[in-house]
Amino acid sequence: MNSVLYPVCAAAALLAFLYKLRVLRTDRSVTQLFLLGNFFLQAIVFTVSTPFVWLTVSRAVDIVNFSGLLTQSCVILITACQQVVLLRLSNDPETAARKARPRLFALGLVLAVMIVLFSMATFSHENPTDFALTKAQLYPSYLLVYLLAYGVSQVDVQILCLRHAKIAPAPWLRRGLRLVGLTMPFVLTYTCCRLADIVAGQFGASGRAWEPVAQWSAALGTIINVVGWTLPDWGRHLSTAWQALDTRRAYRELEALHGSLTDQIPEPVLSLDADAGLRARLYRRMVEIRDAQWALRPWMSPALLVAAERACDERGLTGSERAAVIEATLLRAAVRGKAADDQPLDHDPHPRVIDPQDLSSELRFLRQLAKAFASGPPR
């Protein structure tokens, strides 16, 4: 499984590193540097954890299972990078440095202890696929130090993420931090699996039964982590794409209503330049609908307004939904009256039930109005 799963994770981390590398041209802040370090170290961890690379690295330095020490040391450094990034995001530089110092000191101490315990171990052969299981059985103290440091630090990272997500100024930063915070179950699952390896090892057993769970937890947690940390950069492109798609959909939704009204009141319709964008066309369609609505008010009966209000009250409609149904009822009657050349009324009602306060609210209401107009009178 390592031969397939871990290269995928390594590729994801490397792509994130390369994607963020361009940011250094304009922003060489501590936050960006440590975030780059996070992705670079993740790429190292999963590249070296691939069995072929594991053997190559260990043999290159002529230390049995050196790759295990390297990857797990990088994991500790990854946690340190993430803590620094989050502290810098949440605090001014001086406060962030003050809060980071004890965390970095503790993780540095952990690395020193891990190196000492690793040097005391006597590995007889390479373990590219079961290094953690072997340590759990033969050298549980090394694995226990690593797991406690990893688990506690990662919980700290998740808590910092969720705290800052509540106050982050940008929506995609908030979403990205929440996504990183959602990796906590994977962190806890991986840690529990490795702790279970230690317990099983003390009874002469092996944790191979749940090894796939540990590997998948590490892999999925990493991929979600990478997506979450990069989401603030590329998420805005999703917003742009969604906005373009929603604009096109809104333009189509208003087409039938616009056509029905302007067939009777064509004066508001203006021809636009061929190069006018869709947003400009949508805005113009909204204006033409409202202008035609005002022009049709002489064919709107006050009695029909009262009847429409009563029907909405009977159905329990409120707010903008109620207003859309009432206005649609008046518009259908006005279109029929104008088409039949009925005489205009002397006392025409106000054609609008509510007046949205901004353009987005106006568009949202007109979409409701178009739907109500097409669905027929209230029952």
Contacts of 290 (CB under 8 A, 6+ apart): none
At position 103, the amino acid (one-letter code) is R
* pLDDT tier for residue 209 given thresholds of 50, 70 and 90: confident
What pLDDT does 379 receive? 56
Q: Over the stretch 303-334, which tens digit does the pLDDT of each residue have?
A: 888 888 888 888 888 898 999 999 999 899 88
| Mean pLDDT score of the chain | 86
pTM over 0.85: no
Q: Over the stretch 244-294, which tens digit does the pLDDT of each residue have?
A: 999 999 999 999 999 999 998 888 888 877 778 889 999 999 999 999 998
Separation between Cα atoms, residue 151 and residue 213, nearest integer Å = 16
Contacts of 349 (CB under 8 A, 6+ apart): 297, 300, 301, 302, 305, 330
Inter-CA distances, 17 with 32, 47, 79, 137, 170, Å: 11, 14, 16, 36, 22
Q: Over the stretch 177-187, which tens digit does the pLDDT of each residue have?
A: 999 988 899 99
> How many residues in total does the chain contain?
379
